[in-house]
């Protein structure tokens, strides 16, 4: 299972970095135009994906003491608020990339058995914890879902991109 999770950590970083690079090439006013997504703008959706990575890191840090060091990069990131200019997008991209790298570093240090460590959350009325591998899976699925939304919006806006595919690289141990 760790091999699969390692693969998705790297895929998520490449994909999120690719989306950020793509967004840098698009008119900033179009990216900040509200009403394009449930979050508001395309920029808000990209920021939402980054914020979710930090949210999941917080869940993990609160439950797994050895996560504190690896995920320290995401303790106090400065995700810019409101409509972004080019500099704000650059800041967001850097924080997002650092958070994804922290996920990679954390997962690389885990043993196969660590993936079963309990993570506390309050999503379910009948259980207090879920295994770490479930939380990591939720992190990856969340990002894939929202990157797909960005791809679809860009298609509707007739913005050229090649982000519709998934480029998973198999990473054997």
What are the φ and ψ backbone dihedral angles of 119, each rounded to 5 degrees?
Answer: -120, 125
Instruction: Please report, for the domain that includes residue 117, its CATH number.
Output: 1.20.120.450
Q: Does 173 reside within a domain?
A: no
Q: Name the domain count of the chain.
A: 1
Q: Does 163 reside within a domain?
A: no
Q: Does 168 reside within a domain?
A: no
Q: Does 170 reside within a domain?
A: no
Q: Mind listing the pLDDT tens digit of every residue in the chain (173 residues)? A: 999 999 999 999 999 999 999 999 898 998 888 776 777 889 999 999 999 999 999 999 999 988 777 776 555 666 877 788 889 899 999 999 999 999 999 999 999 999 999 999 988 889 999 999 999 999 999 999 999 889 888 888 888 777 655 565 655 55
Quote the pLDDT of residue 69.
Answer: 74
Q: In whole angstroms, what is the distance from residue 53 CA to residue 51 CA?
A: 5
Q: Does 161 reside within a domain?
A: no
Q: Does 164 reside within a domain?
A: no
Q: Which residues form the domain of 133?
A: 2-156
Q: Does 52 reside within a domain?
A: yes
Q: Does 125 reside within a domain?
A: yes
- Which residue's structure tokens are 């930090």? 54
């Amino acid at each position: 299972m760790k091999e699969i999770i390692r693969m998705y950590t790297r895929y998520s970083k490449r994909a999120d970095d690719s989306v950020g690079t793509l967004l840098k090439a698009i008119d900033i006013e179009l990216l900040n135009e509200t009403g394009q997504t449930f979050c508001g703008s395309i920029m808000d959706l990209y920021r939402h994906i980054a914020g979710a990575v930090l949210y999941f890191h917080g869940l993990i840090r609160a439950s797994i003491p050895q996560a504190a060091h690896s995920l320290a990069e995401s303790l106090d990131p400065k995700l810019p608020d409101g409509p972004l200019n080019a500099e704000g997008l650059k800041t967001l991209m850097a924080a997002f990339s650092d958070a994804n790298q922290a996920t990679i570093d954390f997962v690389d240090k885990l043993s196969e058995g660590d993936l079963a460590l309990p993570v506390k959350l309050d999503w379910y009325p009948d259980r207090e914890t879920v295994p770490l591998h479930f939380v990591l899976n939720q992190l990856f699925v969340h990002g894939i879902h929202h990157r797909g939304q960005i791809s679809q919006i860009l298609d509707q806006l007739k913005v050229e991109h090649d982000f519709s595919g998934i480029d998973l690289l198999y990473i054997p141990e």
